[in-house]
Chain A
Amino acid sequence: MAVPVDNYLRNQFMPHMWCPGCGHGIVLGAVLRAIGRLDLPKDEVCIVSGIGCASRAPGYLDFNTVHTTHGRALAFATGIKLARPDLHVIVLTGDGDASAIGGNHLIHAARRNMGITTVMFNNSIYGMTNGQYSPMTPKGRYASTAPYGNVERNFDMCELVKAAGGNYVARATTAHARQLSNYVEHAIQTQGFAFVEAVTQCPTYFGRRNKMGTPVDMIEWFRKNSVNAAAAAKLGPEELDGKIVVGEFYRGDAPEYTQVYEEVIKRAKEAAAR
C-alpha cells in the first residue's frame, strides 16, 4: 500500500540539506511510511536524534522533535519515554552517533528494554565531519582518517543489541526500502527496545573514497552483496565475509521498562500509604 509521507514533512524546509544521492532520505521515507501505515497520531510521536547528517532528519518532520547532542539521543529519549510512556519515541541516529560516542547508551537502552524504536542510519562513515572512519567502517575500507585502509574491525550492532537485551532486531539496506519500512513498522509495534540497522550510502565520502561509483551503483552493490538471514545461516564465515546479512534477527517478549516502573509506582504508593 502506498502511503503518502508529505503529511509528515515540514515542507517549508525543503530542499533538505542532504547531498544528492544520499541514502538518508530513503531510510527516512521508510520510517515515515511505517508511521503512516500504523496511522500514529502526530502529537503522540516524538523523534529524537543526536548529531550528524542522519540526525538532521527530525528538523524536517512534523512531530515532537529533538535534535540533541552527539551520541546522546537515546539518553534524552529515555527521559522522555519514562516521563511519558504513552508517547511513541523513535530515535534516528547515525552509525557514529549510535556505535561510537553513544555506544554505551545504546547498550543500556537495550538492556533496560526501554520502549524506544531506534533506527541507525549506517553509512559506515562519519558523513557530517567529512568522512572519517567509524566503528562501522569495514576493515580495509578507506576514510579521511584511514588513508592506508581501516585497520579496525567493525561492529555487528544487531548482535550487540540482541545480546544486550533488545526485543526486536533487524537489518535492511536502501536497496530493500520496502522491507526496511516493514521492519521499522514491526519495531514500532514492539513492546520494549527495538533496533533497525539501515545500511545506507554516503556517496560523497564513503563512496568517493572507496571508488564505489554513483549512488545507484552503491545501492546496486548493497543488493548484490546482501544475503538474507535464512540463507546466511547455511553459509560459513568465509562465504559471509564482506556480505550484508539482512532480515529480522530477533523478536523477544521481555517486559518493557516503563511498564515495569508503573508497578514500582504502585508498590511505592502502597508502601507510603501504610
Chain B
Amino acid sequence: MPGRKGRDLRLLQGNECCAEAAILAGCTFFAGYPITPSTEIAEILSEKLPQVGGHFIQMEDEIASIAAVIGASLTGAKSMTATSGPGFSLKQENIGFASFTEIPCVIVNVQRTGPSTGLPTAPAQADLMQARWGTHGDHPIVALYPSTVPEVFDLTVKAFNISERLRVPVILLMDEVVGHMREKVEIPHVSDIEIINRPRPDVPPEKYLPYAAGPDGVPPMAPFGTGYRWHVTGLYHDETGFPTTAAPNADRQMKRLYAKIESAAEEITFTSEESLDDAEIVVVACGITARSARRGVRLARERGIKAGMLQLKTIWPFPYGIIGDIAGRVEKIIVAEMNMGQLIGEVERAACGKCEVVGYSRVDGEPIAPAEIVAKIEEV
C-alpha cells in the first residue's frame, strides 16, 4: 500500500502485525506449536527471524515451546511464543517457572472459545483469569490486551519492553477477531521505537549475585555463556540463586516479586477512554468489546445519555485505582465481556460499592455489537 512519503503505512492482519512488531522490538527467538487462530504469527516468524539472524523452531507441543523460549531467553535472546486456548493451558506450568525464575519472555494467546476445543475458532474473551492465575501458586504476571491492529503493534513492543525491564513473563491477549482482522497501521521508523533491554550486571562474575535486586526489585541478568556462571531453579532460592527452604527467605522472595510489579504499575498501566469526564454511566471493556463499547457510547450520547467508556489495555496488574476513582464519580459501571463474567469481579473489587456494577456477557462465539451496548446503557 503506497504511503505518504517517508511513512510506512501498511494494511496488516493483527497476527501479522504482532510478528512485525516482535522483530522490531528485538525478538530473535520464537518456538511454537500450530494452533488456530494464532498460527500466522509462527508462519511469519519462521520466514522473518532467520532473515535477521534469529531462530525459529516448531516444537513437539506447547509445553516444549515455552520451555525452549525460556531456554533461549537465558542466553540473552528476546524470546516469544504464540498460541491459543488449549495451547495456553499447556504452557502454564512453565509460565510459572519463568515468572518465579524471572526470565523474560512474551506469550501471545489469541483467544478462542473454550473450554476444551470449544467452538473452533470463534472469538471469546474467557482467558482473562487464566492469564492471571493459570499457573499454580502466587506469582507476578503482566497481561496486555489490544483492540485494534495499531494497538497490536504498540502493545507487542511494550510487551517485550516490560518483560525485559521487569524480568517477568508478559502475556499478550488477543481476540480472534483482532488476530485475523486487517487494518491500516503505521509502522514507525526503527529509530522511533523505544527499546528496553533487560538489566545487565555491572559487577565482575565473582561478585555477581543473580537474584540480588536493586531498589526497583529487579535483579540484573547475565546471559548464559558470558562468564557469569549462575544457577536457575524453580525452588525457592536466595540472592545467590541456590535453593533454600528458609521461611524468611521464601516470604522475602515472594513479596519482592509482587513489589517489583506494583512499583512499576503506573508505567505499565495503559488505558484509553471516551467521554469519561461528565459520564454517569461508564462501560468498562477490553479487546474488541472495547471497540463496540466506544461506538455504543457515542450512539448513546447522540440520544442524550451521559455515557462514557474505559478500555483496559493492561488487564494485569489490574488498574484498581483508576476504576475506583471512576466508581466514585459515576452512577453505574457496565462491564461488557465475552465470557460468563471475569472482568466484572475485579471491577467490583475496585468499585468497592461506590457505584452499581452490572455485567453484560455474551458467550455464543459472536462479538458484542454496539447496538447491544446502547441497549444495555438504556436499560440500566
Contacts and interface: CB of A to CB of B under 8 A. Distances in A.
Q: Is chain B's binding surface mostly helix, strand, loop or mixed?
A: mixed
A84 B224 contact: yes
A106 to B, nearest CB: 10
Contact of B67 (A42, A79, A84, A265): A79
Contacts of A79: 29, 31, 57, 67-74, 79
Contacts of A239: none
Contact of B64 (A65, A81, A108): A108
A82 B224 contact: no
B366 interface: no
Contacts of A48: 71
B164 to A, nearest CB: 15
A268 B72 contact: no
Interface size range of chain B in the complex: 35 or more
Nearest to A267: B50
A75 interface: yes
A39 interface: no
Interface in B24-81: 28-29, 31, 47, 50-51, 53, 55, 57, 59-61, 63-65, 67-77, 79
Contacts of A83: 28-29, 55, 71-72, 75-77, 79
A75 to B, nearest CB: 4
A266 to B, nearest CB: 8
Contacts of A107: 60
A269 interface: yes
A158 B235 CA distance: 31
B55 A269 contact: no
Given A75-B67, A104-B60, A269-B53, A82 B29 contact: yes
Interface string A59-75: 10011111111001001
B233 interface: yes
Contact of A69 (B94, B227, B229): B94
7 contacts: A58-B231, A66-B231, A68-B232, A79-B29, A80-B71, A267-B50, A268-B50
Interface of B: 28-29, 31, 47, 50-51, 53, 55, 57, 59-61, 63-65, 67-77, 79, 93-94, 97, 224-227, 229-235, 242-243
